């Protein structure tokens, strides 16, 4: 059954409909991969084996009757341990959350939509404490290794979800992204992830990081991400900032290609970012494929200076709010880096915060004008490949914070734009390299369309997922 774990969600659903295999067979195979990977990767907070098999048997019965519950009935999914899931605790990587601290009787909106569509919940995936940084390790659950080399990080903060998808523990996962947290691990693990336009996927409870935080699909390819977006973009009254209903399907027009699109390619944000040569070369090859496919690609930079200071004000104050009521004992058990940035955030004033909001709005206006000229922007997702596990920054970094090595991701959380990461090659050590496609706000379908075109052109052909 190991071959079943290599299939995308779209192919699984087609196979169920044709009677080629069953949700129970697929779930057993995915669980085997998850169990085999867990000792070396630590990608899961909790495996839901018996519950998952019960859900798979119910799905199998629905398919036998010709009455599937929805678009992903019987597809194994994993959920980042930030999002509420009925019946299991949400620890958020923190010792401050007790297993019996609440009844755990509510699903987050995206989880609820998956449940309505018949998904099989396979596992809860690891996260750093409250998802605060770009790697995945926490005092409570330890560090998550990269499937291509467990001694290296899977990235974060949705590193467990990316690792799960990479090793065949279900083709779909839910992650969150407030500064790059689905795109960073996708880049490091050779998988796909989309940060949708803010509000496109409802979020509840609201993130302490406010409107920086997005829920997004983590998958094997763009087609599966479009499928998952069709499921999780449904409305939910608990999110006051959600966007209106989607007109049509994200899969509509997915095969429309990129011919005639005007695409800006910024290899280094105008020389502001030092990009590893192997990364730069792989991304450029991906950009050349866009040209071959008929896009009008122009090397052009978005023309903004690094907004990291404003991002830090919003990020650190969010961390302070998250931990505001912690006891001394709880603070003692926190991730030391989170404790440090929380203390910095607590010293920031309302005027500091509003000044950061002003810069954020100016950046959003700037990118809005940029996209009047260019349909899409392409950059490296990350300037480097995965580094050693269990640390916030690479060895020799002159910056103590994770934002020092993620300059291509967090600006687009400030602007709330749609952005994805897809694999475009590997470095000399066999570690995956990611290419980022950024679209305007509400440009999610266009971002997915361009990514799908690149997959069709073989952009990821040299990236082989590791065995479980």
Write out the catalytic residue numbers. 80, 157, 181
> Rounded distance, CA 197 to CA 413, Å?
9
**Are the beta carbons of 446 and 438 closer than 8 angstroms?**
no
At 374, list the tokens.
């260019």
Beta bridge partners, 460, equal none
Is the bond into 205 cis (omega within 30 degrees of 0)? Answer: yes
Residue whose entry in the numeric block shows the structure tokens 């923190």: 94
Q: Is 357 helix (H, G, I), strand (E, B) or coil?
A: helix
- Give the residue from 217, 78, 226, 192 showing the smallest Cα distance to 465: 192
Measure the CA–CA gap between 182 and 40, rounded to whole angstroms: 21
Token pair for 425: 């090659």
* Residues 468/408, Cβ–Cβ less than 8 Å: no
How far out from the chain centre does Cα 156 lie? 8
Residue 426: half-sphere exposure toward Cβ, Cα within 13 Å = 17
Question: Are 104 and 89 a contacting pair, CB within 8 Å?
Answer: yes
**Full DSSP string of 17-77:** HHTSS-HHHHHHHHHHHHHHHHHHH--EEEE-HHHHHHHHHHHHHHHHHT---STTTT-EE
């Amino acid at each position: 059954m190991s071959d079943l774990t290599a299939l995308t969600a779209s192919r699984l659903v087609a196979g169920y409909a044709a009677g080629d295999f069953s949700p129970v067979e697929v779930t057993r195979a995915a669980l085997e991969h998850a169990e085999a990977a867990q000792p070396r990767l630590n990608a899961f907070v909790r495996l839901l084996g018996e519950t998952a098999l019960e859900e798979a048997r119910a799905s199998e019965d629905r398919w036998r009757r010709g009455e599937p519950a929805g678009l992903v009935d019987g597809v194994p999914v994993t959920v980042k341990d930030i999002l509420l899931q009925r019946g299991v605790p949400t620890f958020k990587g923190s010792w401050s959350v007790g297993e019996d601290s609440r009844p755990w009787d509510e699903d987050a909106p995206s989880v609820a939509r998956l449940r309505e569509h018949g998904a099989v919940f396979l596992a809860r995936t690891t996260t750093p404490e409250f998802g605060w940084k770009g790697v995945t390790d926490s005092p409570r659950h330890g560090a998550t290794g990269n499937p291509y080399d467990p001694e290296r990080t899977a990235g974060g903060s949705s590193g467990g979800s990316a690792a799960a998808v990479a090793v065949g523990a279900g083709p779909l996962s839910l992650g969150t992204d407030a500064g790059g947290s689905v795109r960073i691990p996708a880049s490091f693990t050779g998988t796909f992830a989309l940060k949708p336009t803010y509000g496109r996927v409802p979020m509840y409870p609201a993130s302490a990081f406010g409107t920086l935080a997005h829920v997004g699909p983590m998958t094997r390819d763009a087609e599966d991400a479009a499928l998952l977006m069709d499921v999780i973009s449904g409305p939910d009254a608990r999110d006051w900032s959600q966007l209106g209903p989607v007109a049509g399907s994200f899969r509509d027009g997915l095969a429309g290609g990129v011919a005639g699109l005007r695409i800006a390619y910024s290899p280094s944000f105008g020389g502001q970012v030092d990009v590893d040569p192997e990364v730069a070369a792989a991304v450029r090859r991906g950009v050349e494929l866009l040209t071959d496919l008929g896009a009008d690609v122009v090397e052009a930079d978005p023309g903004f200076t690094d907004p990291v200071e404003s991002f830090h004000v919003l990020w650190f104050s969010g961390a302070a709010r998250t931990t505001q009521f912690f006891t001394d004992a709880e603070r003692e058990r926190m991730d030391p880096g989170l404790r440090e940035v929380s203390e910095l955030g607590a010293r920031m004033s309302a005027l500091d915060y509003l000044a950061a909001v002003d810069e954020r709005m100016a950046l959003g206006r700037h990118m809005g004008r940029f996209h009047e000229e260019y349909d899409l922007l392409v950059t490296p997702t990350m300037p480097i490949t995965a580094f050693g596990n269990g640390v916030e920054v690479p060895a020799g970094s002159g910056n103590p914070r994770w934002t020092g090595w993620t300059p291509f991701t967090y600006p687009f959380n400030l602007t709330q734009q749609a952005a994805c990461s897809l694999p475009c090659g590997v470095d000399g050590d066999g570690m995956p390299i990611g290419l980022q496609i950024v679209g305007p706000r509400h440009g999610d379908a266009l971002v997915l369309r361009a990514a799908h075109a690149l997959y069709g052109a073989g952009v990821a052909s040299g990236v082989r997922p590791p065995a479980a």
